[in-house]
Structures are given as structure tokens and as C-alpha cells.
Amino acid sequence: MSSRTKILIILMLFLVCGTMLFGETYGERTAANLKAKGWNPSLIVILISALPIVELRGSIPVAIAVLGMPWQQAVALSILGNMLPIPFLLLFLEWVLKMISHFPWGKKFSDWIYHRTRKKGKVVERYEAIGLTIFVGIPLPMTGGWTGSLAAKIFGIPFVKSLLCIFIGVLLAAVIVTSLTLLGTTIF
């Protein structure tokens, strides 16, 4: 393994650990600041859950712990927000990545995201629809609806089937994250 690869791995581990350790504090501060500025708490939850990487892993704990929402409302808004970008990603993500790959930085990014998704998406490749559901449903960093959409495109899963599998995966992730949040455990 080259020294450059080792450095990249160490940086990625640092970023993942830093996100897991400090991400909630940042999310809490952001939600509290937006609420203080008069933003509707429901809109805050929808926006947080629509963000890549964070998705509902971040929005459910913030909604319950910071914004004081009942868990049922937090889950419903988080699922809605998490699913909002998915149809657009399934339809246009491949086109966007092709467009930005005309630029040197875009080519590097596209190649990296395809390689990473292919590597992480072995379960999707092997089990297709069920694999996609599991991939999206296990709430770990770099899994979720956004990455699941890319995996669905890479592995050629049809639009309707992808949308249904991602939705079921989002429901599964919501159950897990809500349970952990109500038990007082945070995962993101």
C-alpha cells in the first residue's frame, strides 16, 4: 500500500470518527440557531434529513432531542425529507456525474464516487433489491438513500424497484435510529 493511500485512509478515518463524535454537536447547534432565527422546526427536520450523509440518521435525534418533537412527528418528517431527493437522484444523478466529469476535478470526483460505491455496494451487487434495501436500511456513515441511489444506478436496478427498495430501507433505518434515540444512544 502506497504512503498516499495510507494517508487517505487515515484522513477518511479521522473524518468519519470526527463526524461521529462532533457531528451531533454541530447538528444541535445548527438546529438551535435556525430555530432561534424563526425557522419552522418541521422545515428544519425535513432539510436536515434531505442532506447527503446526514439524512435521517441526523434529523431524528435532532428533532427529538433538540427541537423537542414527539418521535412520531420526527420520524414522519425525517422519512419525508429523506425521500424527497431520491426520485431526482435516480433520474438525474448519472447525467450530473457525466456532466461534471468533463472537468478534471469532476472526473476525479466521479471516478472516486463510482469506485467507492462499487466497493461498498457488494451486498447490492450480490442480492440486488434485498441488498439495496439492507444497504440503505443499516444506518452507518456513507450508507443511506443518496448512496443507495447511486448504487442502484451503478448496478442497473430499475427506477420503480430502486425507489421501493430505498423507501423500505429508509423505513428500516428510521426504526433503528428512532429506537436508539429513544434509548438515549446516538449513532451520528
Residue with cell 433505518: 173
pTM across the whole model? 0.79
Query: For residues 83 and 170, is the Cβ–Cβ distance under 8 A?
Result: yes
- Give residue limits of the domains in the chain: 3-83, 86-177
CA–CA–CA angle 128, 53, 46 (5° rounding): 105
pLDDT digits (tens, 9 = 90+) for 37-70: 889 999 999 999 999 888 999 999 999 998 999 9
Tell which residue, 141, 138, 187, 140, has the closest CA to residue 21. Answer: 187
- CA distance to 77, 83, 145, 155, 157, per residue, from 121 (Å): 27, 20, 13, 9, 13
Residues of the chain short of pLDDT 50, as ranges, are 8, 11-23, 187-188
Of all residues in the chain, what percent carry a pLDDT higher than 90?
A: 46
